């Protein structure tokens, strides 16, 4: 079976999961964060080398202020104290963050930067967390950076200056909760990615569904437009 080198995940359905399980909405996002951690371990076991998770979009900043504050407080507690993230670190994961993290609170920036520094020499699996991320924003920031540095606008140069520089484009993008759209996620990088849409809510996503997606991927012929 052909194993994708890089899988990206659009983690959809957290609030629906909370509603269906009669829990407060932020409990759904906590379940989703723990699912993310377990999925990293499962992907590593299956031989995947890179994973990217769409955790918080640029558009999410437009949600009610209480929701944004509650989510950021939850993310801070998760990264500081949750057992599942400790297991990920112990598993040799290298953490990267993509997105405009300057918009995050200093506390959240500090914990993310701490993990980036602590894991920089890890090599078992690379984990990119997209937070305060939007593909159009990423491309715009990249263009601005290249203009300032006088870098020519070639395809390779743009790829090498994106937030994801140094990480191969995703072979497979998995979106949960039945929705079939990319929602401003890795638009440059997904040019030839295979797409898999799962009916499961993200909080219910599991190793069996991951293996099902990889099995479906392995049956597809990738021609890269040729």
Question: Which residues does the annotation mark as catalytic?
Answer: 12, 60
**Exposure b/e, 135-172, CB count within 10 A at least 16 = b:** bebbbebbeeebeeeeeeeeeeebeebbbbeebebbbb
Q: For tokens 């079976």, what's the residue?
A: 1
**Exposure b/e, 31-55, CB count within 10 A at least 16 = b:** bbbbbbbbbbbbbbeeebbbbbbbb
- Bridge-partner residues for 128, per DSSP? 52, 96
Name every residue whose Cβ is closer than 8 Å to that of residue 80 and which is 6 or more positions away in sequence. Answer: 111
Q: What angle do CA 111, 113, 114 make, to 5 degrees?
A: 60
Could you tell me the two tokens for 225? 């437009």
Is residue 12 within 8 A of residue 179, CB to CB? The reply is yes
Q: Within a 10 A sphere around the Cβ of 106, how many other Cβ atoms?
A: 7
């Amino acid at each position: 079976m052909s194993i994708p080198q890089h899988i990206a995940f659009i983690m959809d359905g957290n609030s629906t999961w909370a509603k269906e399980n009669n829990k407060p909405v932020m409990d759904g996002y906590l379940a989703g964060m723990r699912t993310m951690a377990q999925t990293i371990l499962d992907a590593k076991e299956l031989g995947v080398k890179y994973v990217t998770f769409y955790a918080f979009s640029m558009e999410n900043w437009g949600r009610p202020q209480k929701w944004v504050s509650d989510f950021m407080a939850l993310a801070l507690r998760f990264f500081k104290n949750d057992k599942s993230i400790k297991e990920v670190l112990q598993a040799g994961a290298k953490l990267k963050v993509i997105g405009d993290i300057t918009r995050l609170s200093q506390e959240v920036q500090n914990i993310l930067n701490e993990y980036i520094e602590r894991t920089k020499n890890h090599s078992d699996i690379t984990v990119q967390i997209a937070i305060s991320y939007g593909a159009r924003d990423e491309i715009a920031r990249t263009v601005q950076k290249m203009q300032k540095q006088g870098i020519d606008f070639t395809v390779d140069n743009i790829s090498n200056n994106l937030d994801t520089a140094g990480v191969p484009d995703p072979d497979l993008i998995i979106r949960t909760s039945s929705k079939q759209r990319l929602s401003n996620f890795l638009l440059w990088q997904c040019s030839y990615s295979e797409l898999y849409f799962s009916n499961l809510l993200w909080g219910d996503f599991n190793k069996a569904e991951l293996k099902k997606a990889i099995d479906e991927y392995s049956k597809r012929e990738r021609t890269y437009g040729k």
